[in-house]
Structure 1
Amino acid sequence: MDNTNDQTHRITVCTDCRHTGAPCRPGLDLLKHLQAAIAKAGAALSDDFSLQGSVCMAGCDRPCTVAFQATAKATYLFGDIGGKADIGALVSFAELYRDRPDGMTREGERPRALGGKTLARIPAAIVSAERQATLLQ
Structure 2
Amino acid sequence: MTTWITICDTCKRTGWEETGMQKTDGKALAEMIEVAAAGADGVKTRRVSCTMGCDRACNITVQASGKINYSLGTFEATTDDAVAIVEYAAKHAASENGQVPYREWPQGVKGHFVSRHQPLPE
Please confirm whether the aligned pair reaches a TM-score higher than 0.5, indicating the same fold: yes
Question: Is 1:8 the equivalent of 2:7?
Answer: no
TM-score, normalisation: structure 1 = 0.72
RMSD: 2.0
Rounded Cα–Cα distance in structure 2 between residues aligned with 1:96 and 1:82: 21
- Is the 8 Å Cα contact of residues 87 and 106 (structure 2) preserved in structure 1? yes
Residue 88 of structure 1: aligned partner: 83
Corresponding residue of 2:26: 27
What 5-or-longer segments of structure 1 have no aligned partner? 1-6, 18-23, 130-137
Q: Secondary structure at the match of 1:67?
A: strand
Three-state SS of the structure 2 residue aligned to 1:95 is: helix
1:64 to 58, 83, 94: 58
Per the alignment, residue 98 of structure 1 pairs with 93
Compare relative contact order (CA 8 Å, sep 6+) and give the higher one, 1 or 2.
2
C-alpha displacement at 1:79, in angstroms?
0.4
Percent sequence identity is 28
Larger Rg: 1
Of Structure 1 and Structure 2, which has the larger fraction of its residues in helix?
A: 1
- The answer to whether the 8 Å contact 2:59/2:75 transfers is yes
CA contact (8 A) 2:37 2:45 kept: no
Q: Which runs of 4+ in 1 moved over 6 A?
A: none
Normalised by the length of structure 2, the TM-score is 0.80
1:111 match: 106
Structure 1 residue 109, shift from structure 2 partner: 2.8
What is the rounded CA distance, in whole Å, between the counterparts of 1:94 and 1:29 in structure 2? Answer: 19
CA deviation string 1:90-110 (max 9, x = no partner): 121022111101101243431
Matched residues in 2 for 1:63 and 1:108: separation?
A: 25
Instruction: Specify the SS of the correspondent of 2:36.
Output: helix
Amino acid in the other structure paired with 2:106: P
Structure 2 gaps, min length 5: 12-22
